[in-house]
Each structure stands twice: as C-alpha cells, then as structure tokens.
Amino acid sequence: RSVLAALASKVKRLHGRYERFLERTFPRFYVLYATFTKGIQALFLEVKEIRKIKSKMSRQRLSVQQLPYREMERLRQVRRDARGTRFGAATPGSASLLREFPEEFPDSLFSFWRQFRRDVIKAIPIGIIAIPPFANFLVIVLMYFFPRQLLIRYFWTPSQQIEFLDAYDSIRRDLYPDVVKNLALAARSLPEPQLQKRLRELCAEVQRGSQPRVAELYAVRHLFSGSPLGLNKLRVSHVKALSQVLFLTPHLPAFFLRRRLRSHVLEIRHLDRAMLRLGLGQLSEEELKAACYLRGLNSTHLDMAECRAWLEQWLGLSCKLQVSEASLLANSMVLLSLNYV
C-alpha cells in the first residue's frame, strides 16, 4: 500500500506540473484541457447523483412528479443535451393555485433517462480515446474543431455554451412564425365567430410585435381542449413546428409526434408545479435561465430580473391550466417568448 500511495502521490505531482506548464505555455490550449477534465468529473458526479435519486425513488416509492423541483429538473437535464407575482416563500394566490392542480399525470418515467443514456453513449468513444497516456491531446483537438457535433454539454466551455444555446435557439425561433400562422389558420375553423375573431386578433397582435397578456391567453383556454386546437386535433404542420420548438424531431408519423409532444409538454407542466412549490425566489441565476430556455425563451443574454419576470407570467398561466389544455401551454412557449424584451 505504501508503494501504491507513493506512486499515486508522484503521479499527482507530475500531473500538477504538467497542468501548470500548459497554463503558462499554451493558455488557450489549457482552457480546453481544463474543460475536458472538469467535464469528466461532472459526468461522473452526474451519474452518482442520478443513482442517488433513483435509489431514493425506489426506497420511498416515489414517482418523478413527487420529487422536489431540483431533483425533477436534474432528471430532465439528463434527458436533454443548452424553461402572477413573485413566487417566493408564499404569495396570496399560490395556495389556491396548488389546490386547483389535478392529480393525473403521464407515465413518462423512462423518458427522463433517454437523453442521459444518449449523452453517455456519445461520450464513450471520447472516454476510450482518452485512456492511453497523453491521448487527451487528441480529444482536445476534437473538442477544438467539432465541439458541438462530437461533444456533450459537459465538455463545452462557458463561451461555447452561450454560443451553442444561441445557435439552437436561432433554429427554433425560425419556426415561431409558423406556429403563430398555424394557430391563426386553426382559428378560422372555430364554430363561433366571436371566439374566432378573438383568437385571430390575438395572433395578429403577436405578428405585429406585441406580447399577449396572460389574462388574454387564459380567457381562451377552453378553445384548446377540443377540435381544432387540441393537441390531438392540430394540423400536422402545426404539431411538427411545436415539436421543433421543443427540440424534438419532426420526422415521425403524426400519431407518435402528437404523443411525444403531449408527453414533453406535460413534463414541463409538472416541473412548473414543483417550481411553484419551491418559489422563484429560491432559484439561482443559472436555474432561472435554464427554466426560461426550456420554455421557449432565449435567456442567455437576460439578467435575473428579466428571467424571473417572464417566469412569473409563465407560471401564472401554466399553473392554472388543466391537462386537457396542454395545447395552449405548448403554443404559449411561442406566444409569450416571441416578442419578449
């Protein structure tokens, strides 16, 4: 044991000298090297944390929706790969909102592990390449030339994270006008002329650059429960656009597109319930920005106050909607984000 301890100590000293040499001589290269090292550590910590949460769920017989917000969000984060008044400790309306929540929820437990497995599988080749001594040079070369294509989020530098989140948001924002256009087209099929006019005017205001008020959206919520605006009744082009807003592939049969979209929208709704219980005042800046981004708003260049203000609006709508009104929640990712700030 003493020999192994001495050997480990010597390796550690050599590794420290190696890192200091890189930092002094090749500062830009060292940033990539440090990012890779921290990424490996973060990945293993993530695995450990997920195992702890799964063990807790098994031991206490909890469903995903019964977890605290941060644990539920951690499971959602491993599935991806870049979502009233202030909901702090308590607000006058928060208790009544929580009482209004129905108990039904989709059985989407296994979907929470989907992206995490993809991340791990994607990271395996990088891990294998890095095993031989000093082979991490090759990994760093790959990181430099193909970071977004070959690496998972653990190995992105802070500047790359902002750059890639902006790039992904730009892709989905190209679909936002299509969502509003499809919504306006669907409004023409409403049987009541007055309701048809109200929804078409709302869409027109958004297309002119205005942001609708939460009260206006809530007032038309019942239109999104059945034909033609319910998730199961939307036009396929509308469903495809909404799927891409959530970074879901549109290249599936309509039945699977609708089912997958509904599952993801309701997962966000359950996260909203957990966030309401925790309170926006308890979230860090990073958590606030991640929550906004998930729900359709590019938060990379917003401050905490702007993120919190937008989430207050979002929760003011989401936490009042029923499961049957999930279509309004999906469309609100565009309606509340397109012209914000």
Q: What is the pLDDT of residue 95?
A: 34
Does residue 65 lie in a domain region? yes
- Residue 123 has a pLDDT of 61
Does some domain include residue 154? no
Residue 324 lies in a domain: yes
- Mean pLDDT, the chain, as a whole number? 81
Instruction: Tell me whether residue 106 is in a domain.
Output: yes
Start-to-end CA span in the chain (Å): 62
- Domain shared by 17 and 90, yes or no: yes
DSSP 68: -
281 shares a domain with 207: yes
**Is residue 117 domain-shared with residue 259, that is, in the same domain?**
no
Q: Per-residue b/e over 82-92, b at no fewer than 16 CB within 10 Å?
A: bbbeebeeebe
Where helices occur in the chain by DSSP H, the ranges are 2-25, 27-60, 69-79, 94-100, 114-129, 136-145, 147-150, 158-173, 176-187, 193-207, 214-219, 236-245, 254-278, 285-294, 304-318, 326-335
Q: Considering the domain boundaries, does residue 6 fall inside one? A: yes
> Do 120 and 213 share a structural domain?
no
Tokens encoding 84: 């009233």
Domain end position, chosen among 105, 130, 146 = 146
132, 21 in Cβ contact below 8 A? no
Q: Please enumerate in sequence order all residues whose Cβ is within 8 A of that of 112, keeping only pairs 6 or more positions apart, or say none.
A: 64, 75, 76, 78, 79
Among 131, 146, 161, give the residue marking a domain's end. 146
Do 136 and 44 belong to one domain? yes
Domain identity same for 262 and 308: yes
Judge whether 10 lies within some domain.
Answer: yes
> Which position has the higher pLDDT, 85 or 314?
314
> What is the rounded CA–CA span in Å between residue 64 and residue 267?
10
* pLDDT the model gives residue 3: 76
Query: Which of 146, 163, 197 is the last residue in one of the domains?
Result: 146
- Domain count for the chain: 2
Closest among 179, 147, 176 to 164, alpha carbons compared: 147
Residues 290 and 217 placed together within one structural domain of the fold = yes
What phi and psi, each to the nearest 5 degrees, are found at residue 63?
Answer: -90, 170
Give the number of other CB atoms < 10 A from CB of residue 266.
Answer: 20
The answer to whether residues 190 and 292 touch, using CB atoms and an 8 Å cutoff, is no
**Which DSSP symbol is given to 230?**
S
Could you tell me what percent of the chain has a pLDDT over 70?
Answer: 78
pTM to 2 decimal places: 0.75
Same domain, 141 and 176: no
Range of the domain at 122: 2-82+84-146
Whether residue 139 is found in the same domain as residue 184: no
**For residue 134, what pLDDT is reported?**
60
pLDDT of 121-161, one tens digit each? Answer: 666 666 666 666 666 667 667 666 766 766 777 777 788 88
For 166-187, what is each residue's pLDDT tens digit? Answer: 999 999 999 999 999 999 999 9
Q: Read off the pLDDT of each residue in 47-68 and give the average, rounded to a whole number.
A: 86
- Flag whether 64 is in a domain: yes
> Do 122 and 254 belong to one domain?
no
176 and 142 in a common domain: no
The token pair that represents 195 in the structure block: 């309701």
Mind giving me the DSSP string for 202-221? Answer: HHHHHHTT----HHHHHHTG
With respect to residue 166, please indicate whether it lies within any of the assigned structural domains: no
Those residues whose C-beta lies under 8 Å from the C-beta of residue 208, and which sit 6 or more positions away, are none
136 and 240 together in one domain: no
The size of the chain, in residues, is 341
Average pLDDT over residues 284-295: 94
C-alpha span between 267 and 70 (Å, rounded)? 14
- Residue whose token pair is 């539920």: 72
List Cβ neighbours of 176 (8 Å cut-off, separation of 6 or more).
245, 334, 337, 338
**Which two tokens mark 55?**
């063990």
Task: Identify whether the C-beta of residue 245 lies closer than 8 Å to the C-beta of residue 172.
Answer: yes
